[in-house]
């Protein structure tokens, strides 16, 4: 990294350390109660659905399987209670989640891979873990027994569910000595007549048109819409809300779900700005409002487009 870039990064980190001490005013309705969240998940009764737990963590029901993505459900996005602290709790606490059949990990950053959450997950011997290349040993050392690593464009099938790792414009690091030693990815999830896209973390790039040509179209795409300011630093690893919508268009997604916002303050844009820009950009590119999902934390929506949360 150039000296100028390093100075800019250090100034950014200092500003974020100061910002983290300021309370976040959470709008009414952004998070639903634990009781309502659990009841809505129960009401879905195993139907194909999405439950947003916050940030990039979803509980997905697809093809009879329960899939947990990028589990960051504890308080801190960092080791040993160090790092940014989430300003809202997980939509449903770990101990109330149904047993996961599949654990899907996009990369090893702390806001996507949380060791506290992993320790709390039961039935580690039964969960199928799917990770990008060279991340498998992380899970084997922590008691998971069924682990598969995928390179970009490689697939894994489990009882009618097909998972394909897809390219993303991002990076990986868990500590000061392992930068980019493990791969990062998005994923295609296909099963039960549906086709989902889980974007993990990514900046915008030409690769999404290629994904659309090779793997599209998609029914529903979960795409990051937050983490984009300052652009001088973040443009290489996170999409703006407008770029997120363009990613959806490029991959041929019929329905977009905004994620990676409203949970923990990692960057400098106003905390609740991303969904407003996401909706405006989606409408500008021809998406109907019902196909632009800004979910509440804890909310379950059926993949037919009907809400599993009683509004």
CB contact set of 210 (below 8 Å; sequence gap of 6+): 167
pLDDT tens for 1-17 read: 334 476 776 677 667 66
Dihedral, CA of residue 271, residue 69, residue 209 and residue 154, to nearest 10: 160
Question: Among 163-167, 176-180, 205-209, which stretch is predicted with the lowest mean pLDDT?
Answer: 176-180
Average pLDDT over the chain, rounded to an integer: 92
pLDDT at 249 over 80: yes
Tell me what percent of the residues of the chain surpass a pLDDT of 70. 93
Return the pLDDT at 309. 45
CATH 3.60.15.10 for domain 3-302, yes or no, is yes
Q: Are 186 and 167 in contact (CB under 8 A)?
A: yes
Helix axes 274-284, 241-251, angle to 10 degrees: 40
What confidence tier does 80 reach under pLDDT thresholds 50, 70, 90? confident
Dihedral, CA of residue 301, residue 104, residue 275 and residue 196, to nearest 10: -60
Mean pLDDT throughout 132-147?
97
What distances in angstroms separate CA 26 from CA 19, 73, 86, 272, 274, one per listed residue?
15, 18, 12, 9, 14
Return the pLDDT at 2. 35
pLDDT at 267 over 70: yes
Return the pLDDT at 8. 74
Return the pLDDT at 4. 42
Query: Residue 251 carries which DSSP code?
Result: H
pLDDT tens for 20-48 read: 667 889 999 999 999 999 999 999 999 99
pLDDT at 112 over 60: yes
At CA 246, angle to CA 244 and CA 247, rounded to 5?
A: 65
Give CA–CA dist 178/156, Å, rounded. 26
Give CA–CA dist 178/69, Å, rounded. 23
Return the pLDDT at 306. 46
What confidence tier does 139 reach under pLDDT thresholds 50, 70, 90? very high
Return the pLDDT at 83. 83
Return the pLDDT at 14. 66
Question: Among 12-26, 128-142, 165-179, 260-274, which stretch is predicted with the lowest mean pLDDT?
Answer: 12-26
Tell me what percent of the residues of the chain surpass a pLDDT of 90. 85
Query: Could you tell me the two tokens for 251?
Result: 């991959």
Mean pLDDT throughout 267-296?
97
Query: Residue 76 carries which DSSP code?
Result: B
């Amino acid at each position: 990294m150039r000296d100028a870039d390093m100075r800019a990064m250090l100034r950014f980190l200092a500003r974020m350390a100061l910002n983290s001490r300021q309370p976040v005013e959470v709008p009414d309705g952004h998070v639903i109660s634990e009781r309502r969240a659990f009841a809505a998940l129960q009401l879905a009764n195993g139907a194909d659905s999405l439950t947003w737990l916050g940030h990039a963590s979803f509980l997905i029901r697809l093809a009879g399987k329960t899939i947990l993505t990028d589990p960051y459900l504890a308080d801190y996005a960092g080791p040993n209670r160090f790092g940014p602290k989430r300003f809202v709790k997980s939509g449903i606490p770990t101990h109330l989640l149904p047993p996961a059949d599949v654990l899907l990990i996009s990369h090893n950053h702390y806001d996507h891979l949380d060791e506290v959450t992993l320790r709390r997950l039961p039935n580690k011997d039964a969960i199928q873990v799917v990770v990008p290349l060279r991340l498998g040993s992380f899970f084997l050392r922590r008691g998971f027994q069924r682990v598969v690593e995928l390179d970009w464009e490689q697939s894994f099938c489990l009882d009618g569910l097909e998972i394909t790792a897809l390219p993303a414009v991002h990076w990986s690091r868990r500590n000061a000595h392992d930068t980019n030693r493990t791969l990062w990815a998005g994923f295609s999830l296909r099963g039960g007549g549906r086709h989902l896209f889980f974007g993990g973390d990514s900046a915008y790039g030409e690769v999404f048109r290629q994904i659309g040509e090779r793997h599209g179209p998609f029914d529903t795409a979960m795409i990051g819409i937050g983490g984009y300011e300052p652009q001088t630093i973040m443009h290489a690893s996170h999409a703006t809300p407008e770029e997120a919508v363009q990613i959806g268009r490029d991959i041929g997604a019929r329905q977009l779900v905004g994620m990676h916002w409203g949970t923990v303050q990692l960057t400098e844009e106003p905390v609740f700005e991303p969904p407003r820009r996401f909706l405006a950009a989606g409408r500008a590119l021809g998406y109907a409002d019902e196909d632009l999902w800004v979910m509440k934390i804890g909310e379950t929506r059926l993949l037919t487009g009907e809400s599993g949360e009683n509004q």
